[in-house]
Structures are given as structure tokens and as C-alpha cells.
């Protein structure tokens, strides 16, 4: 079973925006599980935690240990997702994009 990491925008101007971003990631994570992947979804791992720069370092460690990464729509507008994308490329992961 391949392990896939879901990457995309988390932060938003409002708590509702954060909740919406978490919901979008969760929806994709559920579909990926049904498609046969073991899914790592950081949006759910640290949902509503106080922002901390340590999370991106941990998330990059998770990316390195995965087989693939799934980039949610709009990932280019997220500093964290952009870093995760670069780590995935540097480590030769399969890269999937939300269509």
C-alpha cells in the first residue's frame, strides 16, 4: 500500500476559512483512502492548533517518508504547501494534482 500526503492551504483570514480548508483536505483524504492509499492529512493532524513554525518542519519529515504527495487546488497560494511540494520533488515522490 502506498502512503500519500495531502498538501494544500490550511491558513485563512477567518476560523471559518480554516475550517473550510480542513474540510476540503478531509474530503480528498477520504477519497484517497477509498482509492487504496494510506493517507497522511496534516490538516487533520493539527486541526485548529495555534500556529507554530515547528509544524512545517514535522510535516516535511512526513513528506520524506511517503511514497506520493497529493496537491490540493490552490496549493501554490500556500507557503507551507509550496515547501512540501519542493521536498516531495527533491525526494522523488509521485506527485498528484487535484484536477
Range of the domain at 57: 3-97
Q: Categorize the per-residue pLDDT at 82 as very low, low, confident or very high, splitting at 50, 70 and 90.
A: very high
Q: How many domains does the chain have?
A: 1
5-54 pLDDT, tens digit per residue, is: 999 999 999 999 999 999 999 999 999 999 999 999 999 988 877 776 77
- What pTM, to 2 d.p., does this model score? 0.94
- Torsion 18-58-76-73 (CA) sign: negative
CATH code at position 24: 3.40.50.10400
Amino acid at each position: 500500500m502506498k502512503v500519500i500526503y495531502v498538501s494544500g492551504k490550511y491558513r485563512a483570514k477567518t476560523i471559518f476559512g480554516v475550517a473550510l480548508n480542513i474540510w476540503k483536505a478531509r474530503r480528498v483524504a477520504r477519497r484517497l483512502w477509498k482509492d487504496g492509499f494510506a493517507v497522511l492529512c496534516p490538516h487533520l493532524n493539527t486541526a485548529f492548533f495555534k500556529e507554530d513554525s515547528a509544524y512545517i518542519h514535522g510535516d516535511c519529515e512526513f513528506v520524506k517518508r511517503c511514497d506520493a504527495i497529493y496537491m490540493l487546488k490552490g496549493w501554490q497560494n500556500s507557503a507551507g504547501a509550496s515547501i512540501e511540494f519542493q521536498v516531495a520533488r527533491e525526494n522523488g515522490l509521485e506527485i498528484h494534482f487535484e484536477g
